[in-house]
Chains A and B, each alone.
Chain A
Amino acid sequence: MHTETGNKAVVGGLIVVLLLAGVAVSAPLLAPGDPGRQNLVLNLIKPCWEYPFGTDELGRCIFSRVVYGTRVSLTIGVVVTAISGLIGVFTGLIAGYFGGLLDEILMRTVDVLLAFPGLVLALVLAGLLGPGLPNVILALALVGWMGYARVVRGAVMAVKVKEFVAGVRALGAGDWYILVRHILPNVLAPVIVMATLGIGHVILNAAALSFLGLGVQPPTPEWGAMLNGGRSYLRTAPHLTVFPGLAIMVTVLGFNFLGDGLRDVLDPRSQAKIPD
């Protein structure tokens, strides 16, 4: 039963995510207009046949901007998750495997960084580094790796005492060979689940940074930045606010569905399946 609902969620989430990836790749084909082209005569037009989501204060086609925004948000989500995932998995692997002082130092660092609410730290980092896409990615990656490190460390400590590890070692395998070929594959399931949910989380935080004016800057078509721009026109032109937010929600929902489903299917609690 559990796995069945999990499979449905995986399929549903995967469809949404693949559709969005398709939109991102084929943005120039799907967008009816240039996301940056201004037309002050046609500003703040309500949604209509020619402009499905209306136009913004500078007369730009909101539908085209939302379509192009998929590229920005997915790029940030995937790149940040890849960087923080790599840092976290590497840290967790060596901390859990080698233990001792190295483990102590790395895990204290994780504790300290986790003592800051993540978005607060990312805000300050982005604010100090200055706005812009590379700095947003850097700020979010720096505050996002600790969770992976903790989970991987725990999993490594559970796996490294298994008999098959001792067996491989008895055959003369080196530490790095054991880590990469035998331990890593066994701790990957929770990491995949975390990373899938993590992409959604990163997209939300990136949008929040841009909404506050500390992330991706206008005129780049970024959903959070578009919401920030639309705020002043909430009374007269609410469509500026409705559509970019909807895009964020659908995207994050897709990744959450996929991640939840994967968790049910891979069930981290069934770690007992690891061969002894």
Chain B
Amino acid sequence: MSDADCLLPGQPIVLPTGPAPRLGRGVYEKNGQVRASLVGRPHHDGSTLAISRTRPHPPAPNSIVLGSVTRLSPVQALLSISVVDGVPTPPGEEFTGVIRVQDVRATEKDKIKIADCFRGGDVVRGQVISLGDARSYFITTARNDLGVIFATSEAGATLEPVSWERMRCSKTGSIEKRKCAKPEGL
């Protein structure tokens, strides 16, 4: 019966009687009929009905993204997004994100200097706040768990976070300024 379980785009989904489920990814409703829009098996996740496929998808508001800093300016840092919600984008198909100076952290927004928060090549975890303009998505790091998660020092060694705005070089011990993400599990 595995044939019958696998739905195809456009195929109606028979719903059990009871409260109608919320529709997640991979399903849609047209003229009162719930249909599949992906190839796969539908599953209930709480009250949400969805067909999930772990395929790369473009960032949406509230997506958690990983990317590396490609360009800095006094007003913003440009990010090349290579992971969206834990799914890597295909090589050569990175999305462009922007961290504006007011989105770096939640407090003392007027004192932020981009150069004291990010450097070229840093790997940053951020959250998409809007689809942004024609070129890029707007990213924020104004949360404890968001910010730089990997960076190298001027000496070329890996930096270790010592506070939320400082990192130490593992080779020379010099301190560099970054907006660090709080490591998981602390």
Q: Do A and B come from one complex?
A: no
Chain A contacts to B: CB under 8 angstroms:
none
Chain B contacts to A: CB under 8 angstroms:
none
